[in-house]
Amino acid sequence: MKLLLRGWWWMVDYLYAGWWQLRSIFRRRCPDSYAVGEPSLPAIVLLPGVYETWIFLEPAAQRLNALGYRVFSVPGLGINGRAIPESAEILARTLADLASVQGVSRCILLAHSKGGLIGKHAMLDAALTHPDDAGPAVAALARPMEILGMVAIGAPFSGSLYARYMISRTLRHFSPDDTVLLSLQAATDVNAHVVSIYSEFDPHIPGGSALPGAVNVEVPVSGHFRTLSDKTVLAAVEQAVVKLGNQP
Residue 55 is part of a domain; what is its CATH number? 3.40.50.1820
Residues 6+ positions from 234 with CB-CB distance below 8 Å: 59, 60, 63
Render each residue's pLDDT in the chain as its tens digit; 248 residues: 555 555 556 677 777 776 767 776 777 788 999 999 999 999 999 999 999 999 999 999 999 999 999 999 999 999 999 999 999 999 999 999 999 888 899 999 999 999 999 999 999 998 763 344 445 554 444 446 899 999 999 999 998 877 777 777 777 788 888 999 999 999 999 999 999 999 998 988 888 999 999 999 999 998 999 999 999 999 999 999 999 998 76
What are the residue ranges of helices labelled H in the chain? 2-26, 58-66, 84-97, 114-126, 136-139, 169-172, 179-186, 231-246
Total domains in the chain come to 1
Q: Which 3 state secondary structure label does DSSP give 149? A: strand
pTM: 0.89
Domain range for 233 is: 1-246
